Amino acid sequence: MSQKNNPTDTANLFLSVKEVQQRIINDIKAINGIEQVGIRQALGRILAQNVVATFDTPPCDNSAMDGYAFSSKELDSQAIKDGEQTAISLKVVGQSFAGHPYQGAIAKGEAIRIMTGAAVPSDVDTVVMQEHTETPEEGLVNITTLPKALANVRKKGDDLSTGHTFLSCGKKLSPTDLAFLATQGIPEVKVSRKIRVAFFSTGDELRSIGETLGEGDIYGSNRYSLYGLLKNLDVELIDMGVIPDDRQAIEAAFLSASEVTDAVITSGGVSVGEADYVKETLEKLGQINFWKIAMKPGKPLAFGTLGKSLFFGLPGNPVAVIATFYQFVQPALKRMKGQSIVLPLEIQVKTSELLKKRPGRTDFQRGILEQSESGEFTVRSAGMQASHVLTAMSQANCFIVLAAESGSVEAGKMVTVQPFEGLIA
């Protein structure tokens, strides 16, 4: 079959995974659109502003222990006798409880009873924990184990000082961040609006769940993996089903999808040289590159714009869909959401077994990352590595990334691993 090269495809050569990632990421800007939401609704959203502390937190010096607060000068004047530390004895003149600070003065030779989180008055600077004291009589405390000067006091502004930017634009807001905002009394923040993504499957062999399978038919599964992968990215989804193999239907579906979405994703029908209406329609309607990437699984990938939307044409094989989504679509969508960190996390671990590979393409092998009793992480293959085989993909908790030029890797060697984000619980 003669191959028709797209003019925008620089050469009909294989591109590396990194090269394609860079091309995609460089092309994408954060979407316009900001929403102001309550901090509970902001969980998992991408911050679209810097957040600055307007006051110090903690707002005052406070105790880290239940015990007694006193001046560190007592340690000098009372405790050190001939170089030896002894117990010191102080008069208890009041108490400071959380939410109920002590109002009076504290003179030399005096202490107050204090509770965790209670304000430490300015006359004192040291707290001894209750377990290191004795109370021989009402109104008197003996400190039996001496704390260091300034011990057990949490200083004003320890955590945040006024004017400090404590959350930056582009951060995905975690449960801790909600707490952080609450400590500053902030009820609402600006987040980037959710992106809208439509997805289709293509292929005459594909049936939907509930339909009867004819000879050679399969149930389309990519709409379901894409649903899950996109849900994990907290985007608004439009599942446009399976596209019938009809020129007009394809064109109409693409146009309507691109009008209402920020990105359109299809699976199947993008192989270079494939006689396919999907590809033809894309060439007519959009600015699309049809790339061949030196990766396994997932060689073909189409990327470009369709109207106002980004377009990703993923390969059809079920594992290739997940692998290409993880390497290219997820970073791109994160970038659109305004997220600052977009590429998959990579770590180095030992492989506990031989990993078979031929040099040529970067492998994204399905792996199981596990921890031995001594705490060491190792990785092993999750089973049969074929792009139509969901079994190993389902067992896996990571991709083992083996460089294009690499051959098989012996047991005991270090390999690069991408632990899954959202693919496993």
385 within 8 A of 365, measured Cβ to Cβ: yes
Q: Which is nearer to Mg ion, 313 or 338 (CB)?
A: 313
160 within 8 A of 58, measured Cβ to Cβ: no
Q: Is 316 in the site for ligand AMP (CB under 6 A)?
A: yes
Q: Is 318 in the site for Mg ion (CB under 5 A)?
A: no
What is the spatial distance between Cα 324 and Cα 285, in angstroms, rounded to a whole number?
A: 23
- Please, what is the minimum distance in Å from the beta carbon of residue 389 to ligand AMP? 12
Chain length of the chain? 425
Contacts from 276-281 at CB under 8 Å and sequence distance 24+?
276/202, 277/245, 277/246, 277/247, 277/250, 278/202, 278/243, 278/250, 278/313, 279/313, 280/247, 281/247, 281/250, 281/251, 281/254
Q: Is 201 in the site for ligand AMP (CB under 6 A)?
A: yes
38 within 8 A of 187, measured Cβ to Cβ: yes
Q: Which is nearer to Mg ion, 203 or 367 (CB)?
A: 203
77 within 8 A of 110, measured Cβ to Cβ: no
Q: Is 376 helix (H, G, I), strand (E, B) or coil?
A: coil
Q: Which is nearer to ligand AMP, 192 or 225 (CB)?
A: 225
What is the spatial distance between Cα 56 and Cα 214, in angstroms, rounded to a whole number?
A: 69
| Alpha-carbon distances, residue 124 vs 86, 118, 132 (angstroms) | 20, 13, 18
Q: Which of residues 176-205 bind Mg ion (CB under 5 A)?
A: 203
- Please, what is the minimum distance in Å from the beta carbon of residue 367 to ligand AMP? 22
Q: Site for ligand AMP (CB under 6 A): which residue of 95, 183, 184, 271?
A: 271
CB under 6 A: which stretch of 1-9, 197-205, 326-334, 342-350 binds ligand AMP?
A: 197-205
110-114 and 88-96 strand pairing? parallel
Q: Site for Mg ion (CB under 5 A): which residue of 121, 170, 220, 268?
A: 268
Q: Site for ligand AMP (CB under 6 A): which residue of 46, 51, 167, 206?
A: 206
- Please, what is the minimum distance in Å from the beta carbon of residue 222 to ligand AMP? 3
Q: Is 297 in the site for ligand AMP (CB under 6 A)?
A: no
- Please, what is the minimum distance in Å from the beta carbon of residue 275 to ligand AMP? 11
- The residue whose two tokens read 């033809």 is 280
Q: Is 315 in the site for ligand AMP (CB under 6 A)?
A: yes
Q: Which is nearer to ligand AMP, 114 or 282 (CB)?
A: 282
DSSP character string of 271-289:
-TT---HHHHHHHHHEEEE
Q: Site for Mg ion (CB under 5 A): which residue of 269, 300, 344, 367?
A: 269
Q: Site for ligand AMP (CB under 6 A): which residue of 67, 147, 269, 338?
A: 269
Q: Is 304 in the site for ligand AMP (CB under 6 A)?
A: no
CB under 6 A: which stretch of 42-50, 279-287, 310-318, 372-380 binds ligand AMP?
A: 310-318
Contact letters for ligand AMP, residues 208-247 (x by CB under 6 A):
----------x-xxx-------------------------
Q: Is 268 in the site for ligand AMP (CB under 6 A)?
A: yes
> Cis peptide before 297, with omega less than 30 degrees from 0?
yes
218-219 and 165-167 strand pairing? unpaired
Applying CB under 6 A, the residues found at the interface with ligand AMP are: 201, 203, 205-206, 218, 220-222, 267-269, 271, 315-318
